[in-house]
Chain A
């Protein structure tokens, strides 16, 4: 007799009280012939040596924000000058622990998001819904394949990846308990580990929603959607969704479609829910990132706000209340003190909201919340009186008059904006200085808390800077999700050989050091130079607000393919998984390196060969910390804006420590000294000029061909001359032979090498005879991992 085993619980008729539970049935893997690599579903220890290798080169750097610790009751302890606290931890290790905790929070955010979404979707669509990302994608879950060693085929298969990620997050969080690690490098290894789990969490979340909600699947030419403060038609009720998990707000679009009302309403989003709403329904619009929350709410634009989770202001309810805007909280991660009304009838909930009995409700029943939201928005819209946005002219004058130039606001503003000077000029009738603050103000509200005169500073800034605010209105190309396998096939070689000079991935939050325009300038510099530019999250929506003189955003100027000179928006925060995925697929599809549980080899491949650099111009969230740290473990360097120093930790190599810069060369079977490329895994830059030059320099990889190195050095040198006024100090380190030199500058550079660096040049042949760290070798095959060296030399 043959039993066909299925998952579930079975009761055998004749055996009372006996049931048999069959868990996962492991089906024979037919198509996936790839052998299982050394680290499927790794624990904390499996990749520890890889991390230690990275840390030897890229030594952790700590910039304490607080030099004391008050995490346990033996404290508070003074850890300054690297003293130890009552538990024995020193300042460096305490900071490493703090970074580990931040990465745990980031990883937990994406992973809990993924779990919530996956459970919900499986309930709705069943666990057998196939993971089909379209005909252009065969390698559909590169991070999960690489890290977990499984190849998910259905929604249900994603559970195993998530189970692994959750268990690793808990383990790493455990390590941060008092009395555990005493070595900061071990904490860094754990930060990297949990951040790698974060990449799995993100991938699960985005694959699940793409499959279930039919979001765009790797199409380069997705629709353009309206983006910015000035996008909504104020003659219609406005429903505003805010947060990061579209699962809750999605039914609102369905409800409106179903009732034929979609064109009578405006749905606009803030933060990543906005991206995902537009991926779901391109009639939705994007207001902007987190710092647009108070701009939008204080302007009174929404008729209802629906919040979900992460990166939402913790004073959202009071901000909405002050403007008479009802709030529906939907995620159990952020209930906002509101009553759970899931069990009540729609009309009763609507009545209580409209009568003011409650400023809002908690509702996570999608259909109910959609109906409530639409009914409430309709009514609030009817009641709304036409008012001037932010302040009337009279109110503005009154507010400005109150200022005594005490500067309390300046000393609390994250950017030390000179509000006092703006107010003074305003008192004299010149509002231009206040207006100029709009460009940089992140509407955090700290200044208002500090102001002894209770001036509504944000409203003053937004009222005076209204023109600047509304003019930042444009188009974002809807997030496309993953990169196609065929695209990878086309660009894999030019990226690895260096002819495509690099991939710049601009992701993350918006705590920029200066005006938003800088971000566009930085990215356009690379687009014009035919780098591949990839973006997601808040960076992706901010560049959708900025138009050039011809009225075009970058999305309108540059195509959405993953190719030289193109600009790819992958989507929301969780769509960052596809950027990591593209890097992984280069090693797999182009170089045929196996993925299955083979993390170290792929990370080593990336570090030595793939000129991809992450860029986060205004990072602030814990998720940004874990995303970046996950990229670092994968061998991708990251450049952050100056606020990034407040993560307190960087990984910065020392080019002058020549003993740190080596690889094993599989071809020559020797340990070879190499140029310090890349010399940093994560560091902060201060200005856009510096950002541009650092991004170009960090694209250099040891494996570049001469043609590739020549192209990369050309950009690096040109950009350094353009923005720093001189050749970069370290350019000669990257020269292996005269063929690496930028053609146009060859003679001058040879001369400099001879005169300033003592290299020997054969001037008849225009050849370098002596000087470089190493010679170029066409078959050069670098690795820093002994096991990988053994694997390919013992073949």
Chain B
């Protein structure tokens, strides 16, 4: 599984602050990784998927990033209404109507074959309300073996891999997202 891919020391960030300092758990916290690691995980995955949320409705930059994922052959599950700006850019999401809560419930079920006939092994999350995504990542961490990668602006402790906090510098955040898509190999 892609999650076992080794992350070298120089590909990590020092442990960042949790997006909510009191969201404490005793189990592992995410490894804060650089964009190259995200691309590599996705490239190595059997059936990766990008899940998008609310902030695509507020930040066109995130829509552009998602479109690039799609163009590289990574399918998109659009939640929270994020389908609308994506469809306007000719993306055909795997689903538009299910909430992240529902999608997570499906993903927790080892019998679920996904929307395209194959279970997802690497799930990348983009554009979510931090506290909502955090709960979903916690469910995924405790009750599934799927590799979760959060590429939002805040560090997500319950993901397997997460960006570090990039809240001070939006430009740097967008740059890192661009690097992720640059590193993606075209999938058939």
Q: A642 contacts B87, CB within 8 Å?
A: no
Partner of B99, one of A78, A450, A686: A686
Contact A652 B27, beta carbon cutoff 8 Å:
no
Interface bits A512-527 vs B (CB < 8 Å: 1, else 0): 0100000000000000
Q: Which one of A37-45, A248-256, A323-331, A722-730 is at the B interface?
A: A722-730
Q: Which chain A residue shows the least CB distance to B84? A: A725
The verdict on B181 contacting chain A, using a C-beta distance below 8 Å, is no
Report how many residues on chain B are interfacial, defined by Cβ distance under 8 Å. 57
A59 to B93, CA, bound (A): 26
Interface membership of chain A positions 682-703, coded 1 if the CB is closer than 8 angstroms to chain B and 0 otherwise: 0111110110011001000000
A91 contacts chain B at the CB level, 8 A cutoff? yes
Expressed in whole angstroms, the Cα–Cα distance for A119 and B131 within the complex equals: 42
Tell me whether A646 and B135 are in contact (CB under 8 A).
yes
Q: What is the distance, in angstroms, from A64's C-beta to the closest C-beta of chain B?
A: 5
A652: contacting residue among B25, B105, B135, CB under 8 A: B105
Binds B, one of A150-158, A312-320, A379-387, A410-418: A410-418
On chain A, the residues within 8 Å of B85 by CB distance are: 725
B83 within 8 A of A: yes
Interface members, chain A 400-441 (any B CB < 8 Å): 407, 410-412, 414, 416, 418
Task: Tell me which residues across on chain B come within 8 A of A68, comparing CB atoms.
Answer: 25-26
Give the interface size class of chain A.
35 or more
Residue interface mask B31-59, A partner, CB < 8 A = 1: 00000000000000000000001100100
B100 neighbours in A (Cβ, 8 Å): 684, 686
A770 at the B interface (CB under 8 A): no
Q: Is B118 an interface residue (CB 8 A)?
A: no
Q: How far is the CB of A172 from chain B (nearest CB, A)?
A: 25
CA distance A60 to B166 in the complex (A): 35
Give the distance to chain A from B66, nearest Cβ to Cβ, in Å. 13
Q: Does B106 contact A (CB under 8 A)?
A: yes
Measured between beta carbons, the chain B residues less than 8 angstroms from A513 are: 129, 132
Interface 1/0s, chain B 103-116, versus A by CB < 8 A? 01110110111000
- List, in ascending order, chain B residues with CB within 8 A of A729's CB: 95-98
- Residue A80 at the chain B interface, CB threshold 8 Å: yes
Residue A362 at the B interface, CB < 8 A? no
Assess whether B142 is in contact with A686, with CB atoms less than 8 Å apart: no
Q: Does any Cβ of B come within 8 Å of A32's Cβ?
A: no
Q: Which residues of chain A from 102 to 125 have a CB within 8 Å of any chain B CB? A: none
Instruction: Tell me the residues in window 719-766 of chain A with beta carbons closer than 8 Å to chain B beta carbons.
Output: 720, 723-726, 728-730
Q: Tell me, yes or no, whether A63 is within 8 Å of chain B by CB.
A: yes
Residues of B within 8 A of A470 (CB): none
Interchain CB contact under 8 A, A680 and B102: yes
Q: Which residues of B contact A725 (CB under 8 A)?
A: 83-88, 96
**A292 at the binding interface (Cβ < 8 Å):** no
Q: Of the candidates A81, A412, A685, which one forms a contact with B80 in the assembled complex, judged by CB atoms under 8 Å apart?
A: A685
Query: In the complex, A64→B113 CA distance in Å?
Result: 25
Question: 1/0 per position for B121-139, CB-CB distance to A under 8 A?
Answer: 0000000111110011011
Interface assignment of A61: CB less than 8 Å from any CB of chain B: yes
Given contacts A59-B105, A725-B88, 15 further A-B contacts (CB under 8 A): A61-B101, A61-B104, A64-B142, A76-B26, A80-B141, A82-B143, A411-B17, A642-B132, A645-B101, A683-B99, A685-B101, A690-B79, A693-B97, A725-B86, A726-B96
**The 7 nearest A-B residue pairs measured at CB:** A689-B81, A80-B27, A725-B84, A63-B135, A728-B97, A686-B80, A642-B132
